[in-house]
Amino acid sequence: MGKAKLFGTIGKMALGAVAPDVLEQGTKIVNDQLEKRKDYLKIPDVKLLDVEKATAVIDKYNFNHSEVPVKADLHYADALPNTIVKMEPKGNTSVAPNTFVKLYYIDEQTLIDSQLLAQEAESKKALKKQKTQEQIHNVLETTSSVSANIGNKLHFKKGKKNDDKA
Confidence of residue 115 (pLDDT cuts 50, 70, 90): very high
Confidence of residue 166 (pLDDT cuts 50, 70, 90): very low
- How many independent structural domains does the chain possess? 2
C-alpha dihedral (57, 63, 64, 69), degrees to nearest 10: -40
Write the CA distances from 164 to 33, 107, 150, 152, 155, integer angstroms: 100, 85, 21, 18, 14
Asked whether residue 30 falls in the same domain as residue 80, the answer is no
- Is 58 inside a domain boundary? yes
- Is 106 inside a domain boundary? yes
| CATH number for the domain harbouring residue 78 | 3.30.10.20
The pLDDT value given to residue 149: 77
- Is 155 inside a domain boundary? no
The pLDDT value given to residue 153: 74
- Is 60 inside a domain boundary? yes
